[in-house]
Amino acid sequence: MIAKIINGTKIALKIQNKIKKKIHKRKKNGLFQPGLAVVFVGNNISSKIYVKNKKIACKKVGIISKICRLSISVTEKKIIHTIKNFNSDPTIHGILIQLPLPKKFDTQKILRKISYKKDVDGFHPFNIGLLCQRNPRLRACTPLGIMNLLKSYQIKIKGLNALIIGASNIVGRPMMLELLLAGCTTTIAHKFTKNLNQYVKNADLIVIAIGKPNFLHGKWIKKGAIIIDVGINRLKNGQIVGDADFNSNYLRASYITPVPGGVGPMTVTSLLQNTLYICENYYDKKF
Ligand code: GUN
């Protein structure tokens, strides 16, 4: 079997064009332009690239972005003060703290300071709680992007055995809730999981997000499994690869996301989608 390659770049572009049209229409109708604030603390090289990409994507669709760069020596108090200012800024509708924060900070405490209404990442306990209770509003960007990809390719997932490898707050945990909501039987594997290959063998759908280059080999997977690769790893030779070994999985899976060009472009698209969602649902009219 040879897998169908899921083209994230193409789908992301389609969704971005829809967002752009909607924002253009808003402006024509006298409605305000959406605004996104990104708080970036420190100097993480990958984060720098991600933040730059977010800024470019915002500009493309007509979202105003404000990037607030803070040095690694900033105090927690100052970060919280910055968030509070954005919470009360009427030109800002979405707020994002670029993760990871430098280790000395209490990430959860800081993230909770973002108003749940401006929580464009969907990480606030209120938003995660709503997803958990089958009533999602703001949804974490990477899992939402993956759900949009599956929908775009009309892949039916109800009843599938879904395995999520990686239990992070950013991807694995909200991904599990999304797939559960979509009717999958979900399992999360993590660094303490024993006999991972037993779970892999049984999975119809695998989402892998562990940051280990080419970790998942195709010979482990069930024939016809759907492979969604969230990993973005740079090898010493400069090549960018995912967490799943593409070539071996390609020969056994039914669908596979490439790296780059699979999940990555969808994550930033979800961010734009969430910013617009906030405007339409919280600020254009009241819930
Ligand atoms: N770092 C890596 N992925 C993400 C994400 O989805 N949101 C934020 N805020 N930081 C990230």
Q: What is the pLDDT along the chain (287 residues), one digit of tens a residue?
A: 899 999 999 999 999 999 999 999 999 999 999 999 999 999 999 999 999 999 999 999 999 999 999 999 999 999 999 999 999 999 999 999 999 999 999 999 999 999 999 999 999 999 999 999 999 999 999 999 999 999 999 999 999 999 999 999 999 999 999 999 999 999 999 999 999 999 999 999 999 999 999 999 999 999 999 999 999 999 999 999 999 999 999 999 999 999 999 999 999 999 999 999 999 999 986 54
142 Cβ inside 6 Å of ligand 1: yes
Which residue range is the domain that position 231 belongs to?
Answer: 141-264
> What is the pTM (predicted TM-score) of this model?
0.97
| CA distance linking residue 8 with residue 50, whole number of Å | 17
96 Cβ inside 6 Å of ligand 1: yes
- Interval between CA 27 and ligand 1 midpoint (Å): 29
Report whether 132 contacts 124 (CB < 8 A).
no
Residue 49 lies in a domain: yes
Question: 146 with 219, same domain?
Answer: yes
- The pLDDT assigned to 287 comes to 46
119 Cβ inside 6 Å of ligand 1: no
Residue 275 lies in a domain: no
User: Hey, which of 170, 173, 270 would you mutate to test ligand 1's pocket, going by the most ligand atoms within 8 Å of its Cβ?
Assistant: 170
Closest CA to 216 of 173, 259, 154, 184: 259
Question: 104 with 176, same domain?
Answer: no
200 Cβ inside 6 Å of ligand 1: no
Question: 167 with 251, same domain?
Answer: yes
- The pLDDT assigned to 1 comes to 86
- Interval between CA 267 and ligand 1 midpoint (Å): 9
98 Cβ inside 6 Å of ligand 1: yes
- The pLDDT assigned to 169 comes to 97
Question: 106 with 145, same domain?
Answer: no
CATH code where residue 163 lies: 3.40.50.720
Question: 150 with 256, same domain?
Answer: yes
- The pLDDT assigned to 285 comes to 66
- Interval between CA 167 and ligand 1 midpoint (Å): 15
Report whether 105 contacts 82 (CB < 8 A).
no
Question: 108 with 56, same domain?
Answer: yes
CA dihedral for 213, 55, 174, 9, sign (positive or negative): negative
Question: 106 with 147, same domain?
Answer: no
What DSSP line would sit under 212-247, residue for residue? -TT-B-GGGSPTT-EEEE---EE-TTS-EE-SB-HH
Work out which ligand 1 atom sits closest to the CA atom of 271: 6
Residue nearest atom 1 in ligand 1 by C-alpha distance: 99
